[in-house]
Amino acid sequence: MTEVSSQDPRLQDSMPAGAEAAASGFTQQQIEALFINAAREGDAELLASFLEAGMDPNLRAEKGYTPLILAAYNGNIDAVSALLKGGAKPDLQDEKGATALAGVAFKGNLPIARLLLEAGAGVDVPNSVGRTPLMFAVMFGRDDMAKLLLKAGACPTRRDGEGLNAQDLARRQGNTVLAGLMKQETRAAS
C-alpha cells in the first residue's frame, strides 16, 4: 500500500492544496489522483470536500477524462450531482470528443442523463467522428434513452463522419419502432 492510499484526506482539518500539499506529505499530483479516484468510485462526500477546498471540478485526467465524465460513466449519481453543484461543466469532452452525456447514453443510465440535461448538457454534442449521444443510445439498443434524448431535443437527422444519422442506425439494426418514432419527431419539428 502506498503512502497516498494509506492516508485519508477526510481525516485532516483541511485538504492540502498547492504549497500546503507538499507540507502535508501530499504532492499536487497525488491530490489530483485522489480526486479523480473519488469521482470514478463515486465518493460524493470526499468529492464535496475536495471541491469546498478549491479543487478544480473540471480537472483533466488521462485521456482527457474529467471527474464528471468518470462519475457519470460509472453510474455514480451522487458524485455527478456533487460535481455539477461544484461547478463541473457538463459538455467538456475527452480526447475522443465524448461528453458525460455520451457515456451515459451508451450505458443507458436515465437518471444521470436527466441530471446532466437539467444541468444544461448539450443533447447533440458530437464526438470526434460526429456521433451524438442519440446515436450511441440507438447503436447500443437503449430505446428509453433514445426517447429521452429525443424529448430533450436531440436531432435524429444529424449525420456522423460516415454519413449516417440516428434513423439510419436504427433501421440498420432492425429497430423499426425507434426509426419510425424518429421519423415522426423529424416531421413534427419541420
Q: What does the pLDDT profile of the chain (190 residues) look like in tens digits?
A: 333 333 444 434 444 444 345 446 889 999 999 999 999 999 999 999 999 999 999 999 999 999 999 999 999 999 999 999 999 999 999 999 999 999 999 999 999 999 999 999 999 999 999 999 999 999 999 999 999 999 999 999 999 999 999 999 999 999 998 998 888 877 766 6
Identify the CA nearest to 93 among candidates 146, 44, 147, 130: 130
**Cell for 125?**
454534442
Number of domains in the chain: 2
Q: What is the pLDDT of residue 190?
A: 60
Residues 136 and 151 in one domain: yes
The CATH number covering residue 168 comes to 1.25.40.20
Q: Are residues 171 and 143 in the same domain?
A: yes
- Alpha-carbon distances of 179 from 99, 132, 169, rounded to whole Å: 24, 16, 8
Q: Which domain holds residue 63?
A: 1-89
Question: CB count, 10 Å around CB of 99?
Answer: 26
Q: 16: which residues sit within 8 A by CB, 6+ positions away? A: 9, 23, 24, 26, 31
Helix (H) or strand (E) run with residue 110 in it? helix 110-118
Pair 37, 77 in one domain = yes
Same domain, 65 and 128: no
What pLDDT, on a 0 to 100 scale, did the predictor assign at position 184?
83
Cα–Cα distance list, 160 to 102, 155, 176 (Å) = 14, 12, 20
Q: How far apart are CA 181 and CA 125, in angstroms?
A: 21
CB 99 within 8 A of CB 134: no
Question: Rounded to two decimals, what is the model's pTM?
Answer: 0.85
